[in-house]
Amino acid sequence: MATINVSDDSFETDVISSNKPVLVDFWASWCGPCKMIAPSLEELSDEMAGSITIAKINIDDNQMTPTKFGVRGIPTMMIFKDGKVVSTQVGAMAKSRIDSWIKEVVG
């Protein structure tokens, strides 16, 4: 399962109402570190398809959601469980660190 793209309009349905945890990557096309972690997130999305959904939201095209959740720098990744933010990481990380973080938070 590849990452899914979410928007301000679909965020409530795709993330908040999801029946499994969702990692949301707040990114922009001009962000170098965002581009660096994108392949890792795609791979992890396939590897962890049964336990977590990985979603991406472009902050330039969707400005309400990042503002609502206080995103100040990108890439910012947030894990949502039961409609609430349970963990946040800011900045690019190696795939192994993202993997460890997800497993630590989601179980």
- 1, 57 Cβ separation under 8 angstroms: no
Choice among 6, 15, 24, 31 that is catalytic: 31
- 6, 24 Cβ separation under 8 angstroms: yes
Active site includes 95?
no
Choice among 6, 34, 54, 55 that is catalytic: 34
- 72, 64 Cβ separation under 8 angstroms: no
Active site includes 101?
no
Q: What amino acid positions are annotated as catalytic residues?
A: 31, 34
